[in-house]
Structure 1
Amino acid sequence: MSSYYRRELPIQSKPIIHTPAYYKSPATQWSEFRQEPVNHYNRSNAVAAISSHTANTNRVVAFHSSACWRNHFHASQMSDKLIVIYFTASWCSPCRFMAPVLDEYAAHYIDVEFNKIDVDELFSISQEFGVQTLPAFLFIKRGKEIDRVTGARREELQRKIEKHRA
């Protein structure tokens, strides 16, 4: 028998995963973590540290329902703030390349709102905006599209953010 021989067994059935009744989802665990003081002597510093951490890391808002997106979009039409909508997909490798870049820009440009829409989840929204290439970045002001960047173009995206944010 060759040393390269490898025996592969077919999977007979899917594994059964039992979730205990006391299991808490990660979101529930995180909210309980935020309510508990880390330092019992100085609760205000602990809460401030936790809030500043979440504020800095979650600047790109992902939408998973078209109703939530429509409510947010209609509310933002009254604002002069620049909105960058990032259309992405989990299977798109240029999209995965641009995700940390967008997080970096979101942390740097605090006066710009960054939204993320997965085209597989919200296909109707991507059709409304005419998105045909991924990744796509749409620049919106007062409910109107003012510019667009398609593809993984880091420098062009930064130039357009700086141009339109004023």
Structure 2
Amino acid sequence: MTVSSIRSETEYERFKSRKPIVVVEFYAEWSKLSKGFDPTYEAISNDKQNLDVAFGRADADQLSDLLTNEGETILPTFIVFVRGGEFAKIVGPNETELKAKIREARAKLAI
């Protein structure tokens, strides 16, 4: 699955409910940590185990108010949504934690 670009607050609000589980990455072009994690995020989104998850990416410079409203300023920040509500937040490029939160989100849906 490809990672969708989120370009506005309206798109962000719609995207959070695109699938039962949604992951949004807030990134910046100038951030070495964001750029360095791009291949990993793409790989996670393309993993066949994650066909039930929508993956998005929002440029923190273009949507700075939105990132501030979410309470974060460190990039990259990943927010996992379950049924449109925030489930988890991962601050920084942490593949293990991101995968774990996706698994936990699936478990929550199964309850």
If the TM-score is normalised by the length of the shorter chain, which range does it land in?
0.7 to 0.9
Question: Using the alignment, how far apart are the partners of 1:127 and 1:141 within structure 2?
Answer: 21
Unaligned runs of 5+ in 2: none
**Is contact 1:82-1:139 (8 Å) kept?**
yes
Q: Shift of residue 144 of structure 1?
A: 1.7
- What letter corresponds to residue 65 of structure 1 in structure 2? S
Match of 1:136 among 77, 88, 92: 77
Q: Per the alignment, in what secondary structure is the counterpart of residue 134 of structure 1? A: coil
Distance 1:132 1:163, change over 3 A: same
Residue number in structure 1 paired with 2:13: 70
Structure 1 residues 110-164: Cα deviation after superposition (integer angstroms, max 9, x where no partner): 1111111111011121122112211111111122211111111111211221221
Q: Per the alignment, in what secondary structure is the counterpart of residue 133 of structure 1? A: coil
1:84 and 2:84 matched:
no
Rg larger in structure: 1
1:96 and 2:44 matched:
no
**Is contact 1:111-1:165 (8 Å) kept?**
no
- What letter corresponds to residue 60 of structure 2 in structure 1? V
Q: Shift of residue 101 of structure 1?
A: 0.7
Q: Per the alignment, in what secondary structure is the counterpart of residue 131 of structure 1? A: coil
| Count of aligned positions | 105
Residue identity over aligned pairs, in percent, reads 27
Structure 1 residues 38-87: Cα deviation after superposition (integer angstroms, max 9, x where no partner): xxxxxxxxxxxxxxxxxx5xx110112223333444xx18x5x1111101
Question: Using the alignment, how far apart are the partners of 2:11 and 2:83 within structure 1?
Answer: 18
1:118 and 2:68 matched:
no
Question: Using the alignment, how far apart are the partners of 2:13 and 2:57 within structure 1?
Answer: 13
Q: Per the alignment, in what secondary structure is the counterpart of residue 165 of structure 1? A: helix
Richer in strand (by share): 2
Question: Using the alignment, how far apart are the partners of 1:72 and 1:113 within structure 2?
Answer: 8
**Is contact 1:64-1:121 (8 Å) kept?**
yes
Structure 1 residues 13-44: Cα deviation after superposition (integer angstroms, max 9, x where no partner): xxxxxxxxxxxxxxxxxxxxxxxxxxxxxxxx
The root-mean-square deviation of aligned C-alpha atoms, in Å, is: 1.7
Residue number in structure 1 paired with 2:89: 148
Give the structure-1-normalised TM-score. 0.58
